[in-house]
Amino acid sequence: MPTRKGSPLTARVHLTVDDEVVFDDTLDTWVFTPPDYFRNAIKPDAKPEPWLKAIMIVMADSAMTGASVRIEATTGSSWSLQVQEQA
């Protein structure tokens, strides 16, 4: 089980999707200005792709533990996700 690193909203997230950095800031910034496709994914009628759901789980864990993370996602039919907790 991860240990609490700091205040949850000061956890830093570096998110790369298909080799494009789409977010590199703290979770408090994410709350107010998420990338558009994440904003669209949380609408009531949305059906987010599996890779996007996996990223959301990592983000929720980061918010709960205060751990900063680096996430690298590759989308498509054989999507992949790499997550690294930052010190």
Per-residue pLDDT tens digits for 31-75:
778 877 788 887 889 888 999 999 999 998 998 888 999 999 999
Query: Hey, where are the domains in the chain?
Result: 8-85
Predicted pLDDT at 32: 79
pTM of the model: 0.82
Residues 6 or more apart in contact with residue 80 via CB below 8 angstroms: 51, 73, 74
Predicted pLDDT at 34: 80
